[in-house]
């Protein structure tokens, strides 16, 4: 894990200096590194600590790997000081968490989680999870997404007090980026809502996803209902014209959406008309 301490001051330089926060092989054991699941998003939390998502490298992990992964926080979120010290497992029971952000109102941490492949086109659902305290368990690998049990662990007793998702998303849509909207450009109903991206399915019979979603919250901090499409058009009857990856908010309140299929950035704005 690297820190670019002067990146904001020397962003035009090709020689931005990077320093190690966590050395290679210490964040995740080298034998368990994976090109598609392991180290994911890093955020600085309201407590000024680093929050890092760690996926686990399998569709469903073998039972002889599970204890070690849970101890390391693989298949969860870890927390540490800004200098890499005092690492702890903050949340566990996630499979492949990607986007995450803190709700600025109540400081809860929200994350998308991509769930198990190979169980069918319509199961299991993807997840949007709300983490309210350290040590919470979100049920993987006993649950493959939502309340759907995995084939590999269906006869095993799940941990007590599993937290189920705030939102169950369309199966295999590959929910990635996630932010809380704090701007004022968009109409009032969007202020405080969650914007998230769906990269699009890779092995579903009929492709789904490839869109930007919005999720509205109630005053108590829970979701007001299912996530709704906010921007779409990248999935043309099963043919991908683009694949949204992440969403970010600019200072003026407009949104940027990245697309790794065509290598584009899209800006979404509202002019009141």
Average pLDDT, the chain: 94
pLDDT per residue over 63-104, tens digit each? 999 999 999 999 999 999 999 999 999 999 999 999 999 999
How far is Cα 228 from Cα 234, in angstroms, rounded to an integer?
Answer: 16
- For residues 175 and 197, is the Cβ–Cβ distance under 8 A? yes
How far is Cα 111 from Cα 100, in angstroms, rounded to an integer?
Answer: 4
Look at residue 30 in the predicted model and tell me its pLDDT.
Answer: 83
Looking at the chain, how many residues does it have?
273
Whether the bond into 71 is cis, omega within 30 of 0: no
How far separated are the first and last CA of the chain, in Å rounded? 44
pLDDT per residue over 133-163, tens digit each? 999 999 999 999 999 999 999 999 999 999 9
Look at residue 90 in the predicted model and tell me its pLDDT.
Answer: 99
Q: Are strands 239-240 and 244-249 parallel, antiparallel or unpaired?
A: unpaired
| Domain boundary assignment for the chain | 37-170, 172-273
Look at residue 272 in the predicted model and tell me its pLDDT.
Answer: 83
Look at residue 10 in the predicted model and tell me its pLDDT.
Answer: 63
How far is Cα 18 from Cα 273, in angstroms, rounded to an integer?
Answer: 45
Give me the DSSP letters along 50-71: EEEEE--SSSS--HHHHHHHHH
Q: Is the dihedral of CA 170, 173, 174, 179 positive or negative?
A: negative
Look at residue 38 in the predicted model and tell me its pLDDT.
Answer: 63
The DSSP secondary-structure symbol of 234 reads: S
Give me the DSSP letters along 153-185: TTTSPPPTTPPPPSEEEPTT--EEEEEE---SS
- For residues 111 and 53, is the Cβ–Cβ distance under 8 A? yes
Q: In which element (H, E) is residue 212 found?
A: strand 211-215
CATH level 2 (architecture), domain 37-170: 6 Propeller (2.120)
CA distances (Å), origin 270, targets 66, 101, 111: 47, 23, 26
User: Among all chains, which residue has been given the structure tokens 């369309």?
Assistant: 170
- For residues 131 and 77, is the Cβ–Cβ distance under 8 A? yes
Low-confidence ranges of the chain (pLDDT < 50): none
Look at residue 25 in the predicted model and tell me its pLDDT.
Answer: 85
pTM over 0.85: yes
How far is Cα 93 from Cα 69, in angstroms, rounded to an integer?
Answer: 10
Look at residue 14 in the predicted model and tell me its pLDDT.
Answer: 65
Look at residue 7 in the predicted model and tell me its pLDDT.
Answer: 66
């Amino acid at each position: 894990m690297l820190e670019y301490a002067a990146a904001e001051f020397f962003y035009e330089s090709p020689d931005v200096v990077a320093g190690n926060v966590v050395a290679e092989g210490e964040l995740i054991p080298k034998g368990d590194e994976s090109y598609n699941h392991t180290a994911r998003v890093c955020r600085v939390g309201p407590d000024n600590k680093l929050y890092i998502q760690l996926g686990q490298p399998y569709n469903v992990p073998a039972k002889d790997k599970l204890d070690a992964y849970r101890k390391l926080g693989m298949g969860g979120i870890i927390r540490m000081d800004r200098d890499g010290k005092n690492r702890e497992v903050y949340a566990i029971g996630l499979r492949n968490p990607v986007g995450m952000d803190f709700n600025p109102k109540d400081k809860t941490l929200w994350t998308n989680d991509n769930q198990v492949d190979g169980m069918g086109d319509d199961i299991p659902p993807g997840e949007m999870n709300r983490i309210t305290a350290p040590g919470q368990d979100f049920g993987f690998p006993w649950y493959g997404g939502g309340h759907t049990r995995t084939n590999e662990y269906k006869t095993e007793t799940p941990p007590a007090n599993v937290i189920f998702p705030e939102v169950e998303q369309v199966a295999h849509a590959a929910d990635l980026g996630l932010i809380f909207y704090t701007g004022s450009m968009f109409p009032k109903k969007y202020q405080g809502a969650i914007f998230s991206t769906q990269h699009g399915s890779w092995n579903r019979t009929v492709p789904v996803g490839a869109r930007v979603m919005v999720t509205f919250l109630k005053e108590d901090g829970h979701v007001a209902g299912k996530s709704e499409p906010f921007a779409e058009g990248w999935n043309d009857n099963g043919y991908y014209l683009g694949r949204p990856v992440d969403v970010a908010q600019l200072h003026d309140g407009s949104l940027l959406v990245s697309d790794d299929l065509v290598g584009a950035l899209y800006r979404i704005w509202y002019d009141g008309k």
